[in-house]
Each structure stands twice: as structure tokens, then as C-alpha cells.
Amino acid sequence: MGGKEPSALANYVVRRLLEGIPVVFAVLVLNFLLIALYPGDPAQILAGQEATPQYLQQIRIIYGLDRPIYERFFDYLWAIFHGNLGYSFFFQEPVTSLILQKLPATLMLLGTAMVIASLIGILMGVEAARKPHSLRDGVVSAVSLLGYSTPNFWLGQLAILLFSVNLRWLPVAGMTTLTQQLGGLAYVADVLRHLVLPASVLGVYQVALIAHLQRGSMLEVLRQNFILALRSKGLSERSIVYKHALRNAILPVLTVIAFDISALLGGAVLVETVFDWPGIGRMVFDAIIAGDYPVITGTFVVVSIGVVMVNLVTDVIYALVDPRIHYR
């Protein structure tokens, strides 16, 4: 924190939070316009493709589709601020409670993928930067290029073919073994066995990205004078790299990891679909197939706001941790 004025920091945090408001508002407007500007019958979108004429009429009255657009917009905002995102005819449940129900599985998948990928990616990046243009560096570059270029859902299919179908090491899909009633530790172990493949597959792109960034950031730090000073003091290379250099080189990488959450979420939709993982992504896929619009627009709103929040929190934490940051 080193001698920062608390008021300057508080100002920065408040300003950053205020900057988030227009983005959230824009998401809400965008979502509203997507439905409102639909050339057909918006009631059809809100109610879903399989709605009965009676239900459609009910929707028109509830949403006041005959009224002017600005009145409808305020009603829509009102509903969203009260946590009402509509009703899913396919899942037969309010969208809000549906999302809350599916969220833990997605967070578990994202969290696991992110932690594993960060550890592996940072390690790979550091090791590559220690000996630039060596064989080790080349391998890291090749692996990250490959990881960057492989569509994760296809990688998931290959992983299922290899580890589940051929080798029979891991389950093909789902989060639990449905045929068995497991309790306690056996249940946890069962979930973990189901988690291994989807989390690894989801993490591959992140490993590629993180390794690449960490390599660049580490190379820059290793060129600085204080590293030379530490070397001349006779510190071991391992201690210089992992204790002193990494502390300086890791921060920009961690920020990018946090900012890349929206790409990771997109990836999770695909990976959950491949592995039938019962989270938000699989729910979205089921909703697409069923033409269940409220689930999709509701998820878009919730996830976008979530991403904006995560980005804000990252910025604030970054400001707290890094004494060099300028409060713009």
C-alpha cells in the first residue's frame, strides 16, 4: 500500500464503480432493444415458440405490448431490479431461480479450470523465460500456440474419445454417477472424477494465454537492474526467479486472467454442452434447442453484469495491491 492517501484511493474506487453503471445500463438497453425491435411478435419471444394463444394474450397484457415503448422499457427495468427475468416454459420455472440453481456447477467448473490453468500457465511461462530461445522455450511456445488454436469443444470430444471411451478411466458426461446413491467422501470423489476432463479442457486455452503473457512479463523483469544486483549478491537462481522476479512479473498476468473471464464463460457454455455438465452453459444449450428465449436473454443479462462486476473488482484490487498504479 506504501504511503498512499486513503482519500485518493477511495475516490478511485468510487469513480471506477460509477464507470460500471453505464455499461450495465447499456447491457439492459441492448437486451431490451433486441426483443423490442424484433420485426415479428415480441410476445412470441417472451413466451417461447410453443406458447398457446391464451398464454400469448396473457403475456401481451402482462408486458403491456400495446403501450408505448418507453413505458415498456421502464416496466422492464422495474422487473429486472426486482430480480424478475421472466419464466421458462421449458424448465417450468422462473428464470432467476433457474440461474441461481445452475450457477454453483458453473462456478465450480470455472474456478477449478482457472486455478489449474493459472498454476500450469505461470509455471510454463516462467520456465520458458528463464532460458529464452532454448528447447524448453520452444516447447512452451508450441504448446501454447496449439492450445490457443484448438476449439475447446472439439478438444472435449477428443478427450471423451480417448479417456472415457477407449481407456475407460473417466466418466463420459454429467456431474455425478446417476445409478449410484453415494454419500460423504464417496460423493465428493465421484464429482471430482466427473470434473477432471471438463475442467482440464476448459483450462487449456487459459494455459496457452497465461504461459504466453507470463513469459513476456518475466523476460522484461529479468532484464531489470535489481535482478543483476541480486545475482551479484550470490542468491540462487531459483530464489531470484521464483521469489523476487515472479512477484514483480505476476501482477499484469493476474489482471489479464481476471479480464479474460468473459472468454472463459463463453468457453464454459461449449464445454458444459460437450460434457453435459449441469451448469449455466448446458442450460443455455437446452434453451437454444427448445427455443426458450427468456432463459437466454435472462442469462445474457445476469452473466454480462457479472462480468462487468468482476472486471471492476479486479481493477480495484489491482489498485490496492500495486503501489505503482496511477489513479486516472
Partner 1 sequence: MRATNWPARIRQFWVRFSKNHAAVAGLVIVAALVAVSAGANLIRANDIFNINPGQTFESPSWSHPFGTDNLGRDMFSLFLYAGRVSFEVGFTAAAVSVLLGTLLGSIAGFYGGVVDDVIMRFTEMFLAIPILLLGLTILIIYGPGLSHVVFVIAVLSWPVTARLVRAEFLTLKEREFVEGLRAVGAPNHVIIFNEIMPNALIPVIINASLQVGAAITVEAGLSFLGLGDPSNPSWGYLLQQAQTFLTRAWWIATFPGIGLLLAILSLSLIGDGLNDALNPRLAEKG
Which region, judged by CB under 8 A, interacts with partner 1, from 69-77, 108-116, 280-288, 319-327? 280-288
Which region, judged by CB under 8 A, interacts with partner 1, from 27-35, 67-75, 76-84, 313-321? 27-35
Q: Which is nearer to partner 1, 118 or 152 (CB)?
A: 152
Q: Which is nearer to partner 1, 111 or 138 (CB)?
A: 138
Cα torsion for 100, 106, 111, 113, to the nearest 10°?
Answer: -170
Q: Please pick, from the candidates 28, 45, 99, 204, the single residue that binds partner 1 as defined by CB under 8 A.
A: 45
Q: Please pick, from the candidates 75, 262, 322, 325, the single residue that binds partner 1 as defined by CB under 8 A.
A: 262
Cell numbers standing for residue 68: 408505448
Residues binding partner 1: number (CB under 8 A): 51
Q: Which amino acid is at 206?
A: Q
Taking Cα atoms as reference points, which of 95, 66, 76 lies closest to residue 33?
Answer: 76
Which region, judged by CB under 8 A, interacts with partner 1, from 23-31, 92-100, 110-118, 184-192? 23-31
Three-state SS annotation for 61-111: HHHCCCCCHHHHHHHHHHHHHCCCCCEECCCCEEHHHHHHHHHHHHHHHHH
DSSP 133: T
Q: Which is nearer to partner 1, 118 or 299 (CB)?
A: 299
Q: Check binding of 158 to partner 1 (CB under 8 A).
A: yes
Q: Check binding of 299 to partner 1 (CB under 8 A).
A: yes
Q: Check binding of 217 to partner 1 (CB under 8 A).
A: no
Q: Please pick, from the candidates 28, 308, 315, 319, the single residue that binds partner 1 as defined by CB under 8 A.
A: 308
140 touches 128 (CB < 8 A): yes
Q: Check binding of 255 to partner 1 (CB under 8 A).
A: no
Q: Check binding of 146 to partner 1 (CB under 8 A).
A: yes
CB of 34: closest distance to partner 1 in angstroms?
Answer: 6
Q: Check binding of 297 to partner 1 (CB under 8 A).
A: yes
Three-state SS annotation for 161-208: HHHHHHCCCCCCCCCCCCCCCCCHHHHHHHHHHHHHHHHHHHHHHHHH
**What is the rounded distance in angstroms from the CA atom of residue 41 to the CA atom of residue 56?**
10
Q: Please pick, from the candidates 43, 113, 114, 303, the single residue that binds partner 1 as defined by CB under 8 A.
A: 303
Q: Please pick, from the candidates 143, 296, 320, 325, the single residue that binds partner 1 as defined by CB under 8 A.
A: 296
Angstrom distances, CA of residue 312 to CA of 13, 30, 83, 306, 319: 9, 20, 22, 10, 11
Q: 131 burial class (0-12, 13-18, 19+ CB within 10 angstroms)? A: exposed
Q: Which amino acid is at 132?
A: P
Q: Which is nearer to partner 1, 150 or 177 (CB)?
A: 150
The dihedral through the CA atoms of 184, 112, 294, 311 has a sign that is positive
Q: Check binding of 46 to partner 1 (CB under 8 A).
A: no
Q: Which is nearer to partner 1, 217 or 311 (CB)?
A: 311
Q: Please pick, from the candidates 161, 188, 229, 321, the single residue that binds partner 1 as defined by CB under 8 A.
A: 161
Q: Which is nearer to partner 1, 143 or 235 (CB)?
A: 143
Taking Cα atoms as reference points, which of 264, 225, 268, 219 lies closest to residue 246?
Answer: 219
- Residues at the interface with partner 1 (CB under 8 A): 22-23, 26-27, 30-31, 34-35, 38, 45, 132-133, 145-146, 148-151, 153-154, 157-158, 160-161, 164-165, 172, 219, 262-263, 265-266, 269-270, 273-274, 284-285, 288-289, 291, 293, 296-297, 299-300, 303-304, 307-308, 311
